[in-house]
Chains A and B, each alone.
Chain A
Amino acid sequence: MSTPVTSNPAQEESTVDHSKIKVSPEEMEAYDQSGRKPVLLGFFIAVVWLLIGTVLGDLSSFKFDRPDLLTEQAYLTFGRIRPAHLNVMVYGWASTAMFSVSLWLMPRLCRTPLRWGNLAVIGILVWTVGLGVGIALLLAGHGDGLEWLELDRQWADPLLVIGAAMVGASVWKTLAARNVHHLYVSIWYVAASYPWFLIIFLAGNMPFYKGVESAAVNWFYAHNALGLWLTTINLGLIYYLLPKIIGRPIYSYWLSLVGFWGLALFYALNGMHHLIGGPLPSWMIATSITASIMMIVPVVAVGINQHMTVVGRFGAMRYSPALTLAVIAAMSYTAVSLQGILTALVSVNRITHFTHWTIAHSHLGLYMFVTLSLFGGMYYILPRVLKKEWPSRRLVRAHILLVGGGMVLYIVALGIGGVLQGLSLLAPGEGFEASVSSAKPWLLLRSVSAVIISAGHLVFAYHAYLLAFTSRNSLTRHPPFYELKPVLVKKRVP
């Protein structure tokens, strides 16, 4: 892995030339160490949730192939395991890892030690307890009944709000104490995400909505949880990793601005595209479809900006698993957004709505973009915080190939299965049976991919354990993809 932290003492700084900011390795290390406790704690908890969520996801998948699998107990029924999978993955794995990412990024970007780190530690613990309580209640049959907002609003949600607010306070306190004039684009994304999340989560959990209004609030929340929380912090991380690892500045400051404010403006209005054709006043759905199409602006801006930053240097991916994953994640962000825009068009949505196409889209977004970005972040961050290298390049390679390959299979299978299912749901002459049987083989293929991905998760968890709790050799001298021929560049990068 290459860290182009040069020891040039000249300290020029600008938002644009973020990668050229020359900071001594000692100073960098001090920032990394200032957040050591919350960062490590968050990543540890996140990996535990990842393993739990994997078991729940696998079970949900197998239940499509074997509907009589584990039906005797209420807490094992599909209708409880599946929302548990969603909540564990979104709030346990992704969000907790995102806390750590934020707490690691802010000191580096603000060039000041992390403030209120202990508050962040408590925040992460409170969040985790809240989530644990919520999941237990959900499995026992007590949930709020709204997708993405299942966690009990009386016992779980207040803890989540307090936990996120504590981590957010540490982030904002660090920002307030910054030693830089310009705010790098990653700061905008990370810092804005915390107030955004708190507002939408509180609005979504208010108990007084009923009828179709409850549906509108439900999807207002769920879409913004994706757009103004999961997406933003990961875009911030990718914006940091790409220029940092490659060692050249972000392509364009103005495209970053367009990308950020375009996303803030249009994404927030997107929610009703989950209810196309549904019983809402049609102007609401029309507004969301329009805003979805407008999303082309920030998506293309971010896509061009990140692509142009890396272009010509794809060969560097062989040396850095973090870069490899960040590049795949960045491309997946563009891909999932374009797929989403397509799905929001009525002519496509009439086929794909209510089908497994949506599940393929979910996992293209939440796995190929969010999860891979977080894996990339952990490959980069953990060695710097722990001050030792990942022990085995074989394990890194196995992990990336298993999860990457498995997820591509998952998405392709459900993409095809979803369209076939949708076409037979729409065909006037066909009974419901046709939609079930046309999706069945693809659901089986998804279960195969589930096993492959799970193996990848086990490899990763084992490797993280080796890194954190043992003192194995490091791989500094042999980057994981070193022997592979570069496939993305014509000229060999020396």
Chain B
Amino acid sequence: MTRILVLIMGAMATVIFALVILVILPNSMLSDLKAPPQLKQPGQQELLGRQLYISNGCIYCHTQQVRDPVFTTDIHKGLGNRPSVPADYVYDAPHLLGTMRTGPDLFNVGTRLPDRNWHLLHLYQPRALVPWSIMPGFPFLFEHKPTAEAGDKVLDIPKPYAPSEGVVIISKEAEALVAYLISLQHNYPAPDSDALEEVQP
């Protein structure tokens, strides 16, 4: 019996130790993090857009983090004007940091590409704007109709990529996703990082 006891107690001890260090301790340390004043709280449309970003798996190709300039060239390459810090993410649940840069980082895409129409067409067919792109199109985020009805917003698509008949209508979903993308702007100065420095020994 004692050996089983050693096994179960030891096994539990190691994993709970790690849980305390990596989850519970940081959770209490970061709990009083305040949102930087310039960081806008996402509105309803942006939250819907964020949900579409999650459900269509943009995260498997795009990150949302700017790394330390000491050992990366993220800032040099125009991904932002400073490394991202925990306070930038206070409204994010779940986080969308990502682990793949098959496509560019999007943490400041709203600053870099503020044009709504660019994003709409890019989502419908990336190769209409960026011929070398390997990003998939998301035509299912748009509505395909034989003719536009009153109040419909028609997407202007260049010739080879436009459907052979009918029109493509900008849906509520496509608008929301683009609103979310454009809201990704974190170029305000790094928030006063007192809270953080206390955390870092």
A275-334, CB < 8 A from B: 275, 277-284, 287-288
Asked, given contacts A188-B7, A213-B30, whether A279 binds B88 with beta carbons under 8 Å apart, the answer is yes
Bound form: Cα–Cα A216–B199 in Å: 15
**Closest Cβ of chain A: how far from B24's Cβ, in Å?**
9
Report Cα–Cα, A287/B104, bound state, in Å: 28
B72 touches A350 (CB 8 A): yes
Q: Which of A418-437 contact B (CB under 8 A)?
A: 425-428, 432-433, 435-437
Q: Give B123-156 as 1s and 0s: 1 = Cβ < 8 Å from A's Cβ atoms.
A: 0001100001111111110000000000000000
Distance (Å) between the CB of B139 and the closest chain A CB? Answer: 6
A68 touches B (CB below 8 Å): yes
Q: Across the interface, which residues of B come within 8 angstroms of A284, CB to CB? A: 22, 26
**CB <8 Å contact, A283 and B201:** yes
In the assembled complex, the CB of B46 is this many whole angstroms from the nearest CB of chain A, namely 15
Question: Which A residues touch B113, using CB under 8 A?
Answer: none
Query: B78 to nearest A CB, angstroms?
Result: 10
Q: Is B94 a contact of A220 with CB atoms below 8 Å?
A: no
A215 to B88, CA, bound (A): 13
A369 surroundings in chain B (CB, below 8 A): none
Q: Does B101 contact A (CB under 8 A)?
A: yes
Contact of A72 among B55, B73, B89, B140 (CB under 8 A): B140
CB–CB B71/A277 < 8 A: yes
User: Which of A27-35, A190-198, A454-462 has 4 or more CB atoms under 8 Å from chain B?
Assistant: A190-198
A78 to B16, CA, bound (A): 36
Docked complex Cα distance between A284 and B21 (Å)? 8
Whether A48 sits at the interface, judged by CB under 8 Å, is no
Residues of A contacting B54 with CB < 8 Å?
A: 143, 145
Q: Is B92 interfacial (CB-CB < 8 Å)?
A: yes
Query: A80 near B92 (CB under 8 angstroms)?
Result: no
CB distance from B103 to the nearest CB of A (A): 8
- A386 on the interface (CB 8 Å rule)? no
Q: Could you tell me the distance between the alpha carbons of A433 and B135 in the complex, rounded to whole angstroms? A: 12
Q: Which of B10, B76, B136 contacts A68 (CB 8 A)?
A: B136
The answer to whether A79 and B19 touch across the interface, beta carbons within 8 angstroms, is no
**Do residues B83 and A436 form an inter-chain contact, with CB atoms below 8 A?**
no
Contact-residue size bin, chain A (C-beta under 8 Å from the other chain): 35 or more
Task: Name which of B61-69, B114-122, B164-172, B175-183 contacts chain A.
Answer: B61-69
Alpha-carbon distance A277/B98, docked complex (angstroms): 12
Specify which chain A residues have a CB less than 8 angstroms from the CB of B21 in the assembled complex. 269, 287
The answer to whether A437 touches B136, judged by C-beta atoms less than 8 angstroms apart, is no
Contact B58 A79 (CB under 8 A): yes
State how many angstroms separate the Cβ of B91 from the closest Cβ of chain A.
Answer: 8
Interface members, chain A 203-223 (any B CB < 8 Å): 203, 209-218, 220
In chain A, residues 50-91, which have Cβ atoms closer than 8 Å to a Cβ of chain B?
63-64, 67-68, 71-74, 77-80, 82-83
Known: A145-B96, A215-B97. A67 touches B30 (CB 8 A): no
The 9 closest A-B pairs by CB, nearest first: A79-B57, A268-B18, A277-B67, A210-B93, A354-B101, A141-B55, A145-B54, A192-B11, A211-B89
Binding site for A on B (CB under 8 A): 3-4, 7-8, 10-12, 14-19, 21-23, 26-27, 29-30, 33, 54-61, 63, 65, 67-68, 71-73, 76-77, 83-86, 88-102, 104, 126-127, 132-140, 196, 199-201
Q: Smallest Cβ distance from B87 to chain A, in angstroms?
A: 8
Q: Digitize A173-186: 1 where CB-to-B-CB distance is under 8 Å, 0 elsewhere.
A: 00110000011000
Q: Which of B65, B92, B101, B134 meets A214, CB within 8 Å? A: B92
B22 near A264 with CB under 8 A, answer: no
Query: Whole-angstrom distance between the alpha carbons of A210 and B97 in the complex?
Result: 12
Is B56 a contact partner of A74 (Cβ separation < 8 A)?
Answer: yes
For A203, list chain B residues within 8 Å (CB).
19, 23
For the complex formed, measure the closest distance between the CB of B147 and the CB atoms of chain A, giving whole angstroms.
21
Interface of chain A: mostly helix, strand, loop or mixed: helix
Known: A192-B8, A288-B22, A428-B73. 15 other contacts (CB 8 A): A72-B140, A82-B57, A141-B56, A146-B94, A195-B8, A195-B12, A212-B89, A213-B30, A261-B10, A264-B15, A271-B18, A278-B97, A281-B26, A287-B22, A354-B98
A80/B134 in contact, CB under 8 A: no
CB nearest to B17 among chain A residues: A268
Distance, CA A315 to CA B35, complexed state (A) = 64
Q: Separation in Å of the B178 CB from the closest CB of chain A?
A: 17
Q: Is the CB of A63 within 8 A of B136?
A: yes
Q: Contact check, A264 vs B136: say whether CB atoms are below 8 A apart.
A: no
Assembled-state Cα–Cα distance A355/B100 (Å) = 6
Q: Which residues of B have CB within 8 Å of A217? A: 23
Contact B200 A212 (CB under 8 A): no
CA distance A280 to B16 in the complex (A): 21
In the assembled complex, the Cα of A481 lies from the Cα of B10 at a distance in Å of 42
C-alpha gap A77/B58 in the complex (Å): 10
* CB-based contact A426/B60 at 8 Å: no
Contacts of A275 on B, CB cut-off 8 Å? Answer: 97
Asked whether B14 lies within 8 Å of A264 as measured between CB atoms, the reply is yes
For residue A439, give the distance in angstroms from its CB to the closest CB of chain B.
8
> Do residues B3 and A215 form an inter-chain contact, with CB atoms below 8 A?
no
**Inter-subunit contact A436/B139 (CB<8 Å):** no
Question: Is B71 a contact partner of A220 (Cβ separation < 8 A)?
Answer: no
Within 8 A of B (CB), among A194-247: 195-196, 199-200, 203, 209-218, 220, 224, 228
Instruction: Give bound CA distance, A167 to B179, whole Å.
Output: 47
